[in-house]
């Protein structure tokens, strides 16, 4: 029953909250301080993409928003050469909609949506057991920008700072998402190039 109420509360918050919010405070460190385990078990260091713009998205295979995988792949294809890295973070936190193993998740994403962007192993993204990246983002963004459902998006600038929290209900190809991505890609392009050299 507790999970049911958490699901209902998450859905209400998703539909009544702001579609996107910026950080509410400056926090120490950057996204480059964090690492995940890749879906294949290999280390996935965010610092490996220093100077790039990151879109970190908690995902699920059995969600009404699962079709957003196609939009995320489209973003990755469209903006990869400009410096965007899309990172999918499978999570079973919302509605138990990611119950499968990492191998099954990877096969599903590649087979159903042609996903080629990086995927992490399954992670907790909310609460006290959340992955450290998600705790850092929660600290910076505040309650209004926390994930309330699958396919919540965090946009990280080329300097590793959190720029924006983007709601589940914003489709990857929506004007709001693409305009924030394009702004992030343009604003720090010279700094990002310097960081990569």
Packing angle, helices 175-187 and 68-79, rounded to 10: 30
Is residue 94 a contact partner of residue 149, using CB atoms and an 8 Å limit? yes
Strands 53-59 and 84-90: parallel
Per-residue tokens: 160: 């590793």
Catalytic residue IDs: 63
pTM: 0.87
* Tens digits of residue pLDDT in 42-96: 999 999 999 999 999 999 999 999 999 999 999 999 999 999 999 999 999 999 9
Q: Which of 89, 73, 197 is nearest to 150 (CA)?
A: 89
Residue 154's pLDDT is what? 98
How is the chain split into domains, by residue range?
2-196
Residue 22's pLDDT is what? 86
Residue 188's pLDDT is what? 57
For the domain spanning 2-196, the CATH number is: 3.40.30.10
Residue 17's pLDDT is what? 60
Sites in the chain below the pLDDT cut of 50: 2-16, 190, 192-197
User: Which residues fall within 8 angstroms of residue 57, CB to CB, at 6 or more apart?
Assistant: 68, 72, 86, 87, 88, 89, 151, 152, 153, 154
């Amino acid at each position: 029953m507790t999970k049911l109420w958490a699901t209902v509360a998450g859905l209400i918050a998703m539909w009544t909250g702001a579609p996107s919010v910026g950080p509410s405070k400056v926090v120490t460190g950057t996204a480059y301080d964090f690492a995940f385990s890749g879906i294949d078990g290999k280390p996935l260091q965010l610092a490996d993409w220093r100077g790039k713009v990151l879109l970190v998205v908690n995902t699920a295979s059995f969600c009404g928003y699962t079709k957003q995988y196609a939009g995320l792949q489209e973003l990755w294809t469209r903006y990869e050469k400009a410096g965007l890295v899309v990172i999918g973070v499978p999570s079973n936190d919302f509605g138990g909609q990611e119950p499968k193993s990492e191998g099954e998740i990877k096969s599903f994403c590649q087979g159903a949506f042609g996903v080629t962007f990086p995927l992490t192993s399954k992670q907790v993204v909310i609460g006290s057991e959340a992955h450290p990246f998600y705790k850092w983002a929660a600290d910076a963004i505040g309650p209004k920008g926390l994930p309330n459902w699958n396919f919540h998006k965090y946009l990280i600038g080329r300097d590793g700072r959190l720029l924006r929290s983007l709601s589940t209900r914003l489709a990857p190809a929506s004007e709001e998402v693409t305009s924030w991505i394009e702004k992030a890609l343009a604003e720090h392009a010279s700094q990002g190039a310097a960081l990569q050299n």
